[in-house]
Amino acid sequence: MPQMSRQDPLIEHHTVDYVPLAERHGKARDLFTLWFSTNIAPLPIVTGAMVAQVFHLNLLWGLLAIALGHLLGGVVIALASAQGPRMGIPQMVQSRGQFGRYGALLIVFFAALIYIGFFISNIVLAGKSIVGIVPSVPVPASILIGALSATAIGVIGYRFIHTLNRIGTWVMGSALLAGFAYIFAHDLPADFLTRGGFNAAGWLATVSLGIIWQISFSPYTSDYSRYLPADIGITRPFIATYLGATLGTILSFAFGLVAALATPEGTEAMVAVKQATGALGPILMVLFLLNIISHNALNLYGAVLSIITSIQTFASHWTPGIKVRVVLSGIILAGCCVVALGASADFIAQFIGLILALLLVLVPWASINLIDFYVIKRGVYDIASIFQADGGVYGRFNLHAIVAYFIGILVQLPFANTSLYVGPWANLVDGADLSWLVGLAVTCPLYYCLATRKHTQKVRAVKLGYSD
């Protein structure tokens, strides 16, 4: 195994280029800790509280819907993550092998927008959390502290992000379990088990929310597995990612649900957490703040890689290094802070609504990505072609993927139920956004049929991996 001082530096020097086999390091279990720790945070806890407060499910039906949704959606994020060791490149760069060199810019643009949106929302949330813990700190200063901390982690990069989440798994996991123990060790409301009940609309909405939650991570999962040894295979990264992502989110959603049921009906989610956990409440708030900052580094890291991918599309011989990552991180930081400092009181709710609406574009991309990798090409890509100016064997545009992608978006619109747009058939199941199901059901077979019509012998004969 290469020594860290020579081959595995703390500060990452790769950006969107291929990670050579000699520089591969780490173990599959690193993916478990990354996705487990990342998902123990205020946002999934607040969302879990919605299961009781908005969808009116009781404890049993709420837990069943939470578990089922994340267990189903976790398959997508795990399959995307398992591609990293085989490919050795970021997820958005890999999309060139499906959409063509320039065609991939479609999803890269949307991915960058989503990352930046979540980065802004999280630095606002971090700022508010700091003020809640230390009221004497001004809001602008709190926002800047949260933004600068996340940026520092993002700039250092891959290894540091994994290290923080290894620590976070033990700290956040233990804190959440302690929170559960505290709640159940004290008197619970008389209606703790009976508040709410079963309703099909709320149950399906909760299941859909879990599936969409997992799919939303898929555009950057292989960014955090691409340094693993190429011979690690598919199964181990899949299992580690699947267990980390599903267990972390199920625990967080369940914690939000339990806290909501353990406090008077109508209590705001994070206030419910504080009330339900008593003396542990302030400690949990501090840990949640640290987790927001750590998780937000992933958003910045993904945004930087997406922007570099966009620029590098038009400059095939350019191989950006750490200086470019630092400069771009600084530019994104400055722009996001300007927006965050001028944000209105309901900014987070509005922005999250926008970002969730944009998830409509992720479902057809995920469909194409998984069908192409696992069914059509079976993990065999020509990495050299992905970096060639003309796209090599993948060309500048792959019309089959582009057509399937846009049709996949269009068929979702009538069923969409977002804050920006509500389709005419959105209320087939009241409160449940089932557009993702239509997107998957149409895009997967459509892309398979289009792509296999001209699946040439040349592509099937491409060598496995990258020839260095």
The tens digit of pLDDT for each residue in 141-156 reads 888 888 888 888 888 7
List the structure tokens of 468: 């260095």
Q: Mean pLDDT, consecutive 10-residue segments, the chain of 468 residues?
A: 44 79 88 91 86 92 96 95 93 92 90 85 83 84 88 80 85 92 92 91 88 87 90 94 96 95 88 88 86 85 88 84 84 88 68 69 92 93 92 92 95 85 79 83 95 61 48
Predicted confidence at residue 247, as pLDDT, reads: 96
Position 459 in a domain: no
Closest residue by Cα to residue 224 from 209, 244, 247: 244
Q: How many domains does the chain have?
A: 1
The whole-number pLDDT of residue 254 equals 96
pTM here is 0.87
Asked whether residue 432 is assigned to any structural domain, the reply reads: no
Q: Which two tokens stand for residue 206?
A: 């909760």
Tell whether 107 is covered by a domain. Answer: yes
The CA distance from 222 to 92, in Å, is 9
User: Could you please report the per-residue DSSP string of 143-180?
Assistant: HHHHHHHHHHHHHH-HHHHHHHHHHHHHHHHHHHHHHH
What integer pLDDT is reported at residue 421 of this predicted model? 79
d(CA 68, CA 192): 22
- Please report whether residue 206 resides in a domain: yes
CA distance 170 to 34: 11
Residue type (1 letter), 424? P
Q: Is residue 212 part of a domain?
A: yes
- Given this model, what pLDDT does residue 301 score? 85
What mean pLDDT, rounded, does the chain reach?
Answer: 86
Instruction: Determine, yes or no, domain membership for 370.
Output: no
CA–CA gap between residue 61 and residue 67 (Å, rounded) = 10
- Identify whether 111 is part of a domain: yes
* Per-residue confidence (pLDDT) for residue 261, from 0 to 100: 95
Domain span holding position 283: 4-359
What CATH number did the domain enclosing 68 receive? 1.10.4160.10
CB–CB of 205/63 below 8 Å?
A: no
Q: What is the DSSP letter of 420?
A: S
List, in sequence order, every residue forming a beta bridge with 221; answer none if it has no partner: none
Identify the sign of the CA torsion 174, 285, 10, 239. Answer: positive
Query: Quick check: is 202 in a domain?
Result: yes
